[in-house]
Structure 1
Amino acid sequence: MRELSEDRRTVLARWASAAEQLTWAQPPRAVAEGEEGRVDWFPGGTLNLAVNAVHRHVPTHADRIALHWEGEPGDRRDVTYGELDREVTALADALVASGLVTGDRVALHVGLVPEAVVALLACFRIGAVPAIVPAVLPADALTDRLADLRPRVLVTQDGAWRHGVVLPLKSRADEALTGTGTVEQTIVIRRTGIPVPWFDGDRWYDELIASPRPGSSAGSRSSPVAVASDHPSLITHLPNRAGVPVGVVHGSAGLATVVGEIHRSITGSPTDVVWVPAELAWLASQSHGILGPLLNAGTTVVFEGMLDTPSHRRAWEIIARYAVRTVLVTPSVIRALRSWVGNGPTPDQVGSLRRIVTAGEAMDEDTERWLTSTVGHDRAAVVNAWGQTELGGAIAFPATDDGPAPPDPGLRVEAPDGTRVAVGEVGDLVLRHPWPATALGVLRGESIDDTFPLFRNGALVTGDRARVAADGELELLGRSDRVFTVAGQLVSADAIALALTDHPFVARAMVVDRPDSTTGRAVVAVVQACDRPADEELARELQEHVRELLGGLSQPRSVVFLDRFPDAEDPRLLPALRRLASPSHVVAHLHVRQVTAAMASVADPELDT
């Protein structure tokens, strides 16, 4: 990737052309209004995302497969556009009959099952605002997430398959609901058949879509709601420096325009079979695994569970079974696949594959070589993409030989005063061109705070550090805040530290990230214990404590016990701890003298990692 190359007029013309690919109830009066900073995209326009993703394709593509779905136990289902149209409409009618109105929020605590996609699209149809909550979220964290979202409806499952075991989603949801009072109805998808408790307001998904709306005649259909371009479409959560996840709110027209155009740029053909093997709560799964293909009348693969169940070769079997042409995946998944099956797939298993797109974290050269030669057999292009949740997913990547160049976001490396930094110097990665899928802001109760993302000197500040190499390529150096990527997902170091200090036997804690051959980065906790021996038993207790509060990705790989922290605050402390801490052992010990000696050798805290 390189710094910006196109002028603003060219970029806006590209977005005008992309917007013409959508079906509008009311066309916008302009592509964008506003000169610098936050821009009003497609003002005056109205549209419906379900119409664009499903309903408009039915007259010509009713029998085309929209979703190939594969469950972890091996059950499979193909869903055509005609079938998706009918089920989305039925669920939307049921939601309206229950009293849901445009702008209401719906929490989806689900795994990757077809009904989850239907629920997402049904929300779009009626103008409700969905938020997908990770299925693996512990009950306490789920309580906090629901309290932040304030949904009127919760969609969940009786249970979800993961690694051959059933996660009790409904039971977790019931426990979480005791801490929030906004949910009026819980819709339960039958997936595993496990018994679940039942309460007032609980409804089975299959019964809900099978029954007509009260007072309506059989076969009647509610109309899709045309919403304004900036109507909220999705809410996704991000960790932040304060340690509390924030709900990022995305608009409608801008997100649809960008996701549709990125799909056309990143695939060889808009109707190629695409697969994003990742949790549905990751925005890239929603943007590039669901919306991108469906907006272009394409086909996507949806799979449940983990790639190592029932066998380590499941990924290659899925690619072969559904003739997948484009895969978007995190480098962590690739490294895990390599550790399981180092010899890779046979050429016949991946004969359909033409694009392997990596996103979510940096790709190392060794893994990229293995991906190119052993997986792609030098026939599939390996494309390393960069993006952010607050920008709608993956947005910047090199052009491929047989696809259109991606839209130019205007990447540039700048100093805080807005001037370009010299080649080789570190600065802030910013977007100089306005970006249609930029988040509207973050949740603040019932309102949206539009001071996030941050704009400075007319540019959007991404929060990433970067420098320009001698050959003109951008070198991404990670976050400037205390957030880092583990297995393609962002985790907050401050949130983990807060969870650790909540433990009664922890006096103080700091968290650092270290390189890891499988997940990219590993979490290492540096802890000053109190009132108890600093031993392996306490280390494992602290690991479990964090996992229960924040989930598995935030669990420290290693706990390093420090006799005491240095007395004075010093910016060299974190780089010193990074040097000394290792994720290779569950428990380790350091003395403050070792830390102060390491601090003395840190020349520049900004560059020392």
Structure 2
Amino acid sequence: MSDNFDVKLDTKSYLPDPSVKEDSWMGDYEKAYDESVKDPEAHWEKVAEELEWFEKWDRVREWEHPYAKWFVNAKMNITCNCLDRHVFNGRKNKVALIWVGDDGEEQVITYRQLYREVMRFANGLKSLGVGRGDRVCIYMPLVPEQIIAMLACARIGAVHSVVFGGFGSNALRSRIKDAQAKIVVTADASLRRGKRLDLKSIVDEAVVGSSSVEKIVVLRRMKPQMELFSEIEVDFYEIMEGVEKECEPEVMDAEDPLFILYTSGTTGPAKGIVHACGGYMVGTYYTTKNMFDLKEGDVMWCTADPGWITGHSYIVYGPLAMGATILISETTPDYPDPGVWWDMIEEFDVTVFYTAPTAIRMFMKLGEEWPNKYNLGSLRVLGSVGEPLNPEAFEWYYRVIGKEKCPILDTWWQTETGMHMLTTAVGEPMKPGFAGRPVPGIVADVVDENGEPVPPGTGGFLVIKEPWPSMMRTVYNNDERYRQYWNSINNYYAAGDLAVKDEDGYIMILGRSDDVLIVAGHNIGSAEVESALVSHEVVAEAAVIGKPDPLKGDSIKAFIILRMGYEPAEKLKLDLLYHVRMNLGPIAMPSEIEFVDSLPKTRSGKIMRRVLKAQELGMDPGDVSTLEE
């Protein structure tokens, strides 16, 4: 994008009941924001002082572009804030986790019980030789054991790398190998729509050639239990037998890595985003408390999976640091019927509900009669995450689910940012289509390619101008890629998103400026899909684009050049879809495949996906002077 472009902005807004603002943790957003940017270090220090540390910091922040250190020389362990301080301060019998399985099975786990299980599993990992700094890959369904494994790693200073249980063996293998994971924690299977999906065999394939893996820990859910044959396979609960009940927390430096989470890159393999213990804890705690306005009696349901950053920040670390009750569920929104989620909200008195626009649009399509069968009166705050919430979906969510009384948080943030960056604070005017304004402590703007702010109503690049505590510290094994985020536009953090700002400072996200596809809220790199296609013996070259989809946000279309001797055929399309599914998982499967003779390329050989996209959508492809043909 070389020139700015004007965007027609709708000025519609909704104002919640004034009592929402009066009762909120934040109170007046403008006042909180102005104070935070006047003295950001004092702002974040005040937040950090609400949490427990073994040793306080010497300085709040050290900033040497593009590297930041937060809470310098402070010592801590995030699990002490998620578990110990609740267990020993009167919340030990409070419910921490409610879990509902795909088959309706339920588990309720108190803070005391969660604390005990985490201690035992942490000691179990130690018995396998896992220690500070070792990487542990967690590839599991959404079950309580997934969260126990994450917290157990954090307890002993091991670095967890959670891989979404919907990814295929190649995607899992590349993440295991990049992180050099010592242990893989998995389950025999996940359940989805009443069907068993085998995970263990995917792990078996993925660890072939992964020399770093010493043990595979298997949660055996299914009856009869599968046999563990290999000498490297051990049972999840058996490693917890006969170990000490207590596990002293590893004393971590605030800047020590807490986890690696892989996110799709615009080119090449997925990027391992590294988050640090201290700043990440402060950022997720602050936003959970102040953006969701989380109170003692709340039940929070974030429908994401811990395989994504949303699950890390707003299922596990943020809400547990707050001492909240969390609902997690393996269920899909329309199985066994489209009332299953609304039934759970009524059953468990969910007060804070955080989901994706894809789910909201699916419910819109199914009709209001489903949610209207249930009492949703417990809901207090609604959130949206993963992609922009379009105005039509906002209106439906506000009216049908929130009954025109719940504030809606359309949150913009990324794996790289660790926490919410833009949203509308509870009690502030809400504008359909706009993510909102920067969270206090965050300096965001919309700029041109030289970093100059563009006028309201003019599209540009979204940037963050100042460091923040929960920012990523590097890209694992690829620090050069980390520096690119901060070096492409005037030394600001460039998010890779196009945006526009209105007169009041509300920011609307217009979409990606790069080649990341957002399918049903999941970031998928075009490069990963293309390399999966090219790995098939019949494919010479492949390019994929995202096409607007009313339900998913993007659907994937692939353009394929076949090798000599192969002819286009419908059977071949099915083979290629299956190939992508086996390599990357069902979320990365193209919705369309078109066989072509050539692809638009620059003279240096780079495929011009924007030209393909423009042709596909009947738009002007823009400047094509760099094209080879």
- TM-score norm. by structure 2 comes to 0.87
Report the equivalent of 2:578.
544
- Looking at structure 1, the residues matched to 562 and 609 of structure 2 have their Cα atoms a distance apart, in angstroms, of 19
Distance 2:149 2:395 in 1: 39
> In the alignment, which of 198, 203, 217 is matched to residue 229 of structure 2?
198
Work out the CA distance in 1 between the residues paired with 2:609 and 2:176. Answer: 33
Q: How does 1:153-164 map to 2 (within 5 A)?
A: 153-164=183-194
**CA-CA distance at 1:568 after TM superposition:** 6.2
Q: Which residue of 1 aligns with 2:280?
A: 255
| Equivalent position of 2:119 in the other structure | 89
- Where structure 2 has 5 or more consecutive residues not aligned to the other structure, the ranges are 1-12, 14-28, 430-436
- Is 2:352 aligned against 1:326? yes
- Pick the aligned partner of 1:11 from 26, 29, 40: 40
Aligned counterparts of 1:406 and 1:481: Cα–Cα separation in 2: 25
Deviates more, 1:7-16 or 1:271-280: 7-16
- Consecutive unaligned residues in structure 1, runs of 5 or more: 214-218, 583-597
Q: Is the 8 A contact 1:429 1:464 kept in 2?
A: yes
Q: CA deviation at 1:398?
A: 0.9
Letter in 2 for 1:247: G
Task: Single out whichever of 2-11 and 277-286 deviates more from structure 2.
Answer: 2-11
Flag the 1:79–1:6 CA change in 2: closer, same or farther, 3 A.
same
- Structure 2 vs 1, CA of residues 452 and 58 (structure 1 numbering), >3 Å: closer, same or farther? farther
Q: CA deviation at 1:488?
A: 0.8
| Distance change (3 Å), C-alpha of 1:603 and 1:115 | closer
Identify if the C-alpha distance between structure 1 residues 142 and 472 changes in structure 2 by more than 3 Å, giving closer, same or farther.
closer
Q: Which amino acid aligns with 2:582?
A: E
Q: Deviations over 1:334-364 (max 9, x none)?
A: 1223334443412752111111111110111
**Superposed CA offset, 1:535-592 (max 9, x none):** 322222222222222222221111123343357659995444324437xxxxxxxxxx
Q: Distance in 1 between matches of 2:317 and 2:254?
A: 16
Q: Structure 1 residue runs of 4+, over 4 Å off?
A: 1-7, 402-405, 447-450, 566-573, 603-606
Match of 2:519 in 1: 486
Alpha-carbon offset, residue 136 of structure 1? 1.9
User: How far apart are the structure 2 equivalents of 1:451 and 1:524?
Assistant: 31
* Residue of structure 1 equivalent to 2:78: 49
C-alpha RMSD of matched pairs (Å): 2.8
Query: How far 1:139 moved relative to its partner?
Result: 1.9
Q: Name the structure 2 match of 1:509.
A: 542
Residues matched between the structures, number: 583
Match of 2:311 among 279, 285, 292: 285
* Pick aligned residue for 1:581 from 591, 608, 616: 616
* SS at structure 1 position matched to 2:371: coil
Cα deviations by residue, 1:451-501 (Å, 9 ceiling, x for unpaired): 364245442121212233456432322222211211111111122222223
Residue aligning to 1:33: 62
- Return the alpha-carbon distance in structure 2 between the equivalents of residues 567 and 225 of structure 1: 52
Which residue in 1 is equivalent to 2:199?
169
Partner of 2:177: 147
For the residues of structure 2 that align with 1:432 and 1:387, how far apart are their CA atoms? 15
The higher-RCO structure (CA 8 Å, 6+ apart) is 2
1:562 aligned partner: 596
Contact 1:432 1:459 in 2 (8 A): yes
1:439-478 pair list within 5 angstroms: 439-444=472-477, 451=483, 453-455=485-487, 456-469=489-502, 472-478=505-511
CA separation of 1:159 and 1:252: change in aligned 2, threshold 3 A? same
SS in 2 for 1:444: coil
| Percent sequence identity over aligned pairs | 29
Q: Could you say which residue in structure 1 is the equivalent of 2:257?
A: 232
After TM superposition, the structure 1 stretch with the greater mean CA deviation from structure 2, 62-71 or 133-142, is 133-142
Out of 90, 109, 114, the residue aligned to residue 79 of structure 1 is 109
CA distance in 2, matches of 1:572, 1:130: 35
Q: For residues 538 and 235 of structure 2, what CA distance do their matches in structure 1 show?
A: 44
Quick check: 1:230–1:253 contact (8 Å CA) kept in 2? yes
Moved more, 506-515 or 45-54: 506-515
Alpha-carbon shift at residue 167 of structure 1 (Å): 1.7
Say which is worse superposed, 303-312 or 449-458, in terms of deviation: 449-458
Q: Give the deviation of 1:5 after TM superposition.
A: 6.0
The alpha carbon displacement at 1:425 in A equals 3.4
CA distance in 2, matches of 1:567, 1:322: 54
Alpha-carbon offset, residue 421 of structure 1:
2.3
* Aligned partner letter, 1:18: V
The CA deviation string for residues 19-56 of structure 1, in whole angstroms up to 9 with x for no partner, is: 01110001111211236543211001010011110111
Tell me, yes or no, if structure 1 residue 416 matches structure 2 residue 449. yes
Q: Taking structure 1 as reference, are residues 477 and 604 closer, same or farther at Cα in structure 2, changes over 3 Å only?
A: farther
